[in-house]
Amino acid sequence: MKKQQENSLYELNKKAEIYLAQGKLEEAIEAGKQALEIVPYFPPIYKTLGNIFHKMGEIDKAKEWYLKAINQQPEWAEVHANFGSLYAQQQQWQLAIKSYQEAIGIKPNVPGFYRNLGKIWQQIGKIELARVCQEQALNLEAQYPKASQYLKKGKSLLENGEIESAIAHFQQAIKFNPSLANAYQKLGDALVEKKELHPAIKSYQQAIELKPDLWIAHHKLGKVFQEIGELDTAIIEFKLAIKLNQNSPLSYKKLGEILENQKKLDAARHYYQKAIEIQPDAWNIHRKLNQIMLKQGKLKQAIIACKVVIKLNQKLSWPYKLMGDIYQQNQEWDEAALAYSSALKLATNQDTLHKKLGDVLQKKGLIEEAIASYKKAIKINPNSCWYYGALGDAYVQQQKFSEAIPYLIQALKLRPDYDEVHKNIEYILTKQGRQDAASIWSLEEKLPLDWLEKFFKLTGDWEIISSSLESNIIQIKIYPEMPVTFFVSQTIDAKLHPSFQEKKLKLVEAFIAIIPEGRGCVKLGTTAVISSDNKLVSDVSTGCATVIISSSQLPPIYYINKNVAFLSTKWGEKNYFHWMFDAVARIDLLRRTDVEIDKFILGSCEKNFHRESLEALGISQDKIIESRLYSHIKAKQLIVPSCSAKQRGIWVNKWSCEFLRSLFLKPQNIKELSHQPKRIYISRKLASWRRVLNEEEVMNLLEKFGFVSLTLESMSIAEQVSYMAAAKVVIAPHGAGLTNLVFCSPGTKVIEIFSPKYVNSLYWRISNFCSLSHYYLLGDFFDNDNLGKQLWMPDIIVNLKQLLKIMELAKVISTINN
């Protein structure tokens, strides 16, 4: 049964039970029929339909449904008891007796079974047997006060955090009264506290079976399903809770959260608004509602909503903060500064507010006031890289470099991949006339020696390279140094962009370094490979590794007494391109040696393309260690392949392209190429940056010329390979999907689209190595883009007339007379 079908059946059965409890029998039957239309064989709905017809007095129909239920689940005590009741109504005493005895044999602690059986014995003159049954029922019911006592004590223990004792008491309550729905519900609560979620689900379901209209059990069951990621089932439970109790905001709020995460913003907004109608002072829900308005771009409505909240409660800081965010987004600096200042009057110790106020003051040109705000933020929270970076930037704006440098360095120590700090350091070095140092920093992330001594206390012999004769490191050369000549990319612009003008260069040699008792340490945007004598092996480290080698507070070492390949890099592996070229391709270097690898260190292996690649490589999951979990590793032998990205930004090379082709471009991955589209457009509509904002218009144009839009991140690697191998023309905005150019046939035409604010020649280089014809097109200049977040994030607007021209140049279409 598919999950969607299962959820629909579950929801319909619950509806039927609730209608039955409410006496709405026709509605209950209709819900049952709808369930059976989905799957005819579903025992819970058989029982529910039996109960409905039993209540309606239609005995034969009730029997028919109960029999179906028993045939599927013979050990169902309640259904046997229901049969007993039916037979008793028809005075079929022996059948009734047999049914109740079956029920008691399965569940011997239910008083009602004994009482009803006793009544039947009495009807047929078996007075002694009737007396025994009634006494047994009374004995069991005599335990009910004990059950209530255990339940009450269990609740108290649970409130005091004594989880194990609470669970024991709830279990005793259930033992003394198996029909006590509240005991099952509270047991579920206790199990949730223990993070035993699947047993908790069973407890909540038992509570609901005993009392279908127990709305709080539905709500809490929904929360558990939400936590384990079964969102469709969670939605069903929250909707049932709302149906049973429309006066509680809880389930409305949880539904809103799920739908918001699913990006169903209109629906989420509806449920948040319903929750607020019930509880107008639910400020946390007001906040969520306002955040949705922001996501939907309804900024004016969000500001109005914030002002309504302020009018209702003038002691809340977050509405002012949210208004500040909106004004800042709209570049209304005065209004933003006023809003943040108002928030700070109510929350003086919120470091983020001081930072935001500082940012706005800096935009207003009030640098000294901004500096004061950043210092306040640092005083409250001295562990945020963003505050030091912003303070350093403010001093850079004043050209006070000696004041700026310590703060920039501190930001770098906290976050080695902080882009703005990198740019400011390069700027300072350039302004100080240290162009060589600025260039080294830009390309290698290596700071000047005087800075290293002053700020990192690195003096003497702290760094080596893997080929050093003075170390115990063994370097094995795999590929020699290689001169390459790149053909020029083509464009409709009068002048070629500088990124595509480089024609001849030299690829450095590829090697592996074997480091006895070596260590690998990973920190944001940085990997440090460290020798047994505690020296940084700089040619196989990535990022600003001095941050790690100089630190006295590294994570604990995880030692592996085996041969371990260290493949983590500063760029991580969550991005498809970096995974393919910085992780997968480097395994080729390992395979070209006789060194046996026991374990592989990778940053992350949680995505489908990770698992698919490892399967293609024949590397089992038990050989993988993720550096996101173990960030500081020492091995008997640490084996590190060289990284192409260390080569001054070249990133890719011919051998890595060839290895990826040999690994994935296989007959089973390129099935029926004749049926695949020959002209494809790679969409970035699922991305958060570098999106084509007028993509609908672009596709309306391209479809006229036979192009098909593909969203590659939703496909397996095999599917991506199949499409790219068949393509004759590829048009795409710059992005990781173009990694798959390595699978294209020689001569394939590639038209790559860029924002004029960010141009990267990476895929031009892949096109050269794979003998593809590369063309590029710059989009239009515009202000409303992602550039404020990161240099490499700006969105793109494609000029359709220029797109036609570049397609003409590439001879993708015939010349069009405009």
The pLDDT assigned to 641 comes to 96
- Low-confidence spans in the chain with pLDDT less than 50: 1, 649, 785-789, 818
The pLDDT assigned to 158 comes to 92
- Rounded CA-CA distance 588/596 in Å is 13
- Domain 665-809 CATH (choose: 2.60.40, 3.40.50, 3.30.70, 1.20.1070): 3.40.50
Domain 3-142, classified CATH 3.40.50.300, yes or no: no
- Rounded CA-CA distance 149/91 in Å is 40
Please tell me if the domain spanning 3-142 has the same topology as the one spanning 665-809. Answer: no
The pLDDT assigned to 296 comes to 84
Residue 402 bridge partners (DSSP): none
pLDDT in tens, 237-250: 999 899 889 999 99
The pLDDT assigned to 108 comes to 87
Taking alpha carbons only, the member of 10, 401, 30 closest to residue 209 is: 10
The pLDDT assigned to 647 comes to 52
Helix (H) / strand (E) element for 803: namely helix 800-809
The domain ranges of the chain are 3-142, 463-650, 665-809
The pLDDT assigned to 470 comes to 85
The pLDDT assigned to 257 comes to 93
What SS3 class is residue 605? coil
pLDDT in tens, 6-42: 556 667 777 888 888 788 888 888 888 887 887 777 7
- Rounded CA-CA distance 576/609 in Å is 8
Helix (H) / strand (E) element for 679: namely strand 679-682
Per the prediction, the chain carries an average pLDDT of 90
The pLDDT assigned to 371 comes to 98
The pLDDT assigned to 259 comes to 92
Percent share of the chain, pLDDT over 90: 59
| Cβ neighbours of residue 454 closer than 8 Å, sequence gap 6 or more | none
| Cβ neighbours of residue 88 closer than 8 Å, sequence gap 6 or more | 96, 116, 119, 120, 123
